[in-house]
Structure 1
């Protein structure tokens, strides 16, 4: 099920149903005085892992695990320390064995970075991809990015 994504569109935080806050750390800065581009991968990881590993969400069935296979990042503005950031995440696509997320980092109401992340469900023992279960899809439904209806597409 594919959803049309416009990478040039300005993201709106309210379109991302899973959100959390984090701090910009002094250690995140590079010699130019702004957050280093490599640090954004950690911000995006925090958003994904905080959701996916929460036992109450039911997103990691016994014997299975998630691995990241792709992260495409769009740097939109500089980010500086000190400050807080808002992380947003929304499901935008279900594959046979994968889930694609749109993710954002906001600072002071402005989107400073966005990304699309693809994660694959694997068997922990064989390390091979396995099909998404109906239960996992159902448990991800609350986290579908606003404005999308993934269950209406084939």
Structure 2
């Protein structure tokens, strides 16, 4: 039996081709005076939605929409106010109807949280999943994880 703890993952913001920055808001804090765990879900949502909905990237086909199917967050360090955070996003996998993202939040050069999220492409009327087209797959290529 191996009782050694697994190696801690190492995160580099440069591995995430889509990046944004934002201010930490006082409203993001909890009674412990650090960013509340629920706020990270909003940080990760900002990263995904700003990429997917930006018209210049063409990732929102007419009549279709992206729905969040999975979000798993690991909290790695505290973030305090005031300050800024940097969001990083990379596509790690494309399935038949879904896209999986690796996401990070950095603060003062340190990874404060990481997440894996999955969005599913659905028909806006039927709300049923639809296959990714070759065009959508091609448009996601610049956002593939670099490492």
TM-score (norm 2): 0.94
Rounded Cα–Cα distance in structure 2 between residues aligned with 1:23 and 1:45: 15
Unaligned stretches of 5+ in structure 1? 1-5, 148-154
Q: CA deviation at 1:8?
A: 3.9
Alignment of 1:33-44 (within 5 A): 33-44=33-44
Unaligned stretches of 5+ in structure 2? 1-5
Rounded Cα–Cα distance in structure 2 between residues aligned with 1:47 and 1:8: 24
Question: Which of these two proteins has the greater Rg computed from alpha carbons?
Answer: 2
Q: CA deviation at 1:7?
A: 9.2
1:79-108 CA-to-partner distances (Å, cap 9, x unmatched) read 100000110000000111000000000011
Across the aligned residues of Structure 1 and Structure 2, the Cα RMSD in angstroms comes to 1.2
In the alignment, is residue 95 of structure 1 matched against residue 95 of structure 2?
A: yes
Q: CA deviation at 1:10?
A: 1.6
1:46-86 CA-to-partner distances (Å, cap 9, x unmatched) read 00000000011010111000000100000000110000011
1:107 corresponds in structure 2 to 107
Q: Secondary structure at the match of 1:47?
A: helix
Rounded Cα–Cα distance in structure 1 between residues aligned with 2:113 and 2:30: 16
1:123 corresponds in structure 2 to 123
2:85 corresponds in structure 1 to 85
**Distance 1:113-1:7 versus aligned 2 partners, 3 A rule:** farther
TM-score (norm 1): 0.90
Rounded Cα–Cα distance in structure 1 between residues aligned with 2:141 and 2:69: 21
**Distance 1:8-1:100 versus aligned 2 partners, 3 A rule:** farther
Aligned length: 142
Q: CA deviation at 1:145?
A: 0.8
